[in-house]
Amino acid sequence: MHYLSFNAYLNENANLPEDTFAPFLDQKKKMEVKKGDFLLRQGEICKYSFFVESGLLKYYSIDERGKVHVLQFAPEGWFVTDRESSFFNHPSSYFIDAVEDSTVMVFDENDICQLSDMQPQFGALNNRLLHRHISQLQSRINLLLSASAEERYQAFIKTYPDLMLRVPQHLVASYLGITPEGLSRVRKELASRNFKK
Amino acid sequence: MHYLSFNAYLNENANLPEDTFAPFLDQKKKMEVKKGDFLLRQGEICKYSFFVESGLLKYYSIDERGKVHVLQFAPEGWFVTDRESSFFNHPSSYFIDAVEDSTVMVFDENDICQLSDMQPQFGALNNRLLHRHISQLQSRINLLLSASAEERYQAFIKTYPDLMLRVPQHLVASYLGITPEGLSRVRKELASRNFKK
């Protein structure tokens, strides 16, 4: 099972020594969530950001017909939260739950302020995450508007290199905005093309 | 023609007296752009944020087949920029051009810092805009994944109440991710339903 501690993440992404936040992180409890557990439900106000150390979460909506639409997967090393709900104090339109048993660090607004005060580089990291988030959402819209099923699938693999083996096909199809049959067609076509090479 | 000065916008949105930034804004030139003029081209690094005082800009990509995909319209009172390109110094994947003759305020990174230093409320406004942007991008993805053509159209009208009369139909269809024929079907259906009421 893959594992990326928050410390190792900070070291890689904000160039901070692993023990920078030791006094803070030592008292912080990690949360163990079981497959299927909810971390956010539609209608609740989202108060937390979740950093996944191991396992896998998904962030999604359910439409009136009961269909699931996946906005984001969060495997090891990813953050997930509803920034709109937490920032504007709006009831969330989304759910977050665990696709696999997961170990998660839970941050509230106070934690983020405290970490930024302790180390300005954390504030800069937070700002970079915000902009990366915008960039990802933007490319996703562009893909949904312009790309074929195959192009979307290729982009998915680039973003989430090992998720195809971990996520049920219907959830991948839901993320891509195509039917499970469409996804299966794309995969067969790519496999046969690679076989012919 | 609609018109919203940057001063009036600040007054409405950041609760700042209209003359707060007078010394700064007095020296700032407004840019007059003609219909069809470009403010950003794919491959360039986006150095500016554009605030539209009057007129209308669009932010879009062009795919390999030459098809336009509209990510955002920016009428009076809207900002538009490629935050990814300007923040990460990446060549932009997008274009910004004028759908109508427009009057635009142009801000670079320095201006934003200067305004935030002059008045912390401006920094807070900027942060709110970032989060609103995320929220809009997120709902747009959700709509593209889950909503029918009619639901997308209704959401469009809510976001841009007067644009249907100002924007060519094929651009609205492009924004909605449906064909122009699909858009025309939706409009006819809605019109006949409203007529029967």
Report ipTM (2 d.p.). 0.91
Check B93 against A139: CB less than 8 A apart. Answer: yes
Confidence of residue B118 (pLDDT cuts 50, 70, 90): confident
Looking at the complex, report in whole angstroms how far the Cα of residue A162 sits from the nearest Cα belonging to chain B.
23
- State how far residue A146 is from chain B, nearest Cα, in angstroms: 7
Lowest mean pLDDT among A41-45, A141-145, B166-170, B190-194: B190-194
The fraction of chain A above a pLDDT of 70, given in percent, is 99
Contact flag B141-A140 (C-beta cutoff 8 Å): yes
A47: which residues sit within 8 A by CB, 6+ positions away? A86, A108, A109
Residues of chain B found within 8 Å of residue A132, distances taken between Cβ atoms? 84, 88
Instruction: Please report which confidence band the pLDDT of residue A197 belongs to, taking 50, 70 and 90 as the band edges.
Output: low
pLDDT grade, residue A14 (50/70/90)?
confident
Place of tokens 């009076």: B76
What pLDDT is recorded for position A1? Answer: 63
Give B146's contacts in chain A (Cβ within 8 Å): 61, 63, 67, 69
Query: Of the candidates A88, A137, A147, which has its C-beta nearest B141's C-beta?
Result: A137
Superfamily grouping for domain B6-146: Jelly Rolls (2.60.120.10)
Q: Quick one: closest CA in A to B175, which residue?
A: A145
Which ranges of chain B would DSSP assign to H, the alpha helix?
A: 6-13, 22-26, 83-88, 109-118, 120-146, 149-159, 169-176, 180-196
pLDDT at A165 over 70: yes
The set of residues, in sequence order, having a beta carbon less than 8 Å from that of A5 and lying 6+ positions away, is A53
pLDDT-derived band at A98 (thresholds 50, 70, 90) equals very high
Query: Which residues of chain A have a Cβ shorter than 8 Å from any chain B Cβ?
Result: 61, 63, 67, 69-71, 83-84, 87-88, 93, 128, 130-135, 137-142, 144-147, 174, 177
> What pLDDT digit, counting tens, does each position of B78-106 carry?
999 999 999 999 999 999 999 999 999 99
pLDDT score at A136: 93
For residue B173, the chain A residue with the least C-alpha distance is A145
Q: Which residue has the higher pLDDT, A167 or A26?
A: A167
pLDDT of amino acid A196: 75
What's the whole-number average pLDDT of chain B?
92
Q: What average pLDDT score do residues A49-54 get? A: 96
Yes or no, beta carbons of B135 and A61 under 8 Å apart: no
> What percentage of chain A carries pLDDT values higher than 90?
70
Confidence of residue B32 (pLDDT cuts 50, 70, 90): very high
- Interface test with chain A among B87, B141, B174, by most A beta carbons within 10 Å: B141
The residues pairing with A57 across neighbouring beta strands, listed in sequence order, are A74, A98
Q: What is the mean pLDDT of residues A106-119?
A: 88
Indicate if the pLDDT at residue B46 is higher than 80: yes
Q: What is the DSSP letter of B28?
A: P
Are A146 and B93 within 8 A, CB to CB? no
Quote the pTM value: 0.91
| CB A98, CB A35: distance < 8 Å | yes
Predicted local confidence at residue A120, as pLDDT: 83
CB A74 within 8 A of CB A59: yes
Phi/psi of residue B166, nearest 5 degrees: -110, -20
Q: Which residue of B has its CA nearest to A60?
A: B142
Strand bridging mode B30-33 / B56-62: unpaired
Residue B126's pLDDT is what?
A: 87
Q: Do A61 and B142 lie within an 8 Å CB cutoff?
A: yes
- Band the pLDDT of A144: cuts 50, 70, 90: very high
Whether the per-residue pLDDT at A169 is higher than 90: the answer is: yes
**CA nearest A61 in B: which residue?**
B142
- A-chain residues near B79 (CB < 8 A): none
pLDDT of residue B19: 79
Candidate ranges B11-20, B53-62, B120-129; pick with highest mean pLDDT: B53-62
Interface of B to A at Cβ within 8 Å reads: 61, 63, 67, 69-71, 83-84, 87-88, 93, 128, 130-131, 133-135, 137-142, 144-147, 174, 177
Q: Which of A66-75, A106-115, A150-159, B65-74 has the lowest mean pLDDT?
A: A106-115
Which of B63, B87, B128 comes nearest A146 by C-beta?
B63
Whole-number average pLDDT of chain A: 92
Q: How far is A137 from chain B (nearest CA, A)?
A: 6
Nearest residue in A to B179, CA atom: A145
Q: Tell me, what's the pLDDT at A101? A: 97
pLDDT higher than 80, residue B134: yes
Residue B8: pLDDT band with limits 50, 70, 90: confident
Cα distance from B134 to chain A (closest Cα, Å)? 6
Q: If pLDDT is split at 50, 70 and 90, which confidence band does B196 have?
A: confident
Q: How far apart are CA A134 and CA A15, in angstroms?
A: 22
Residue A142 confidence (pLDDT) above 70: yes
Q: Give residue limits of the domains in chain B.
A: 6-146, 148-197
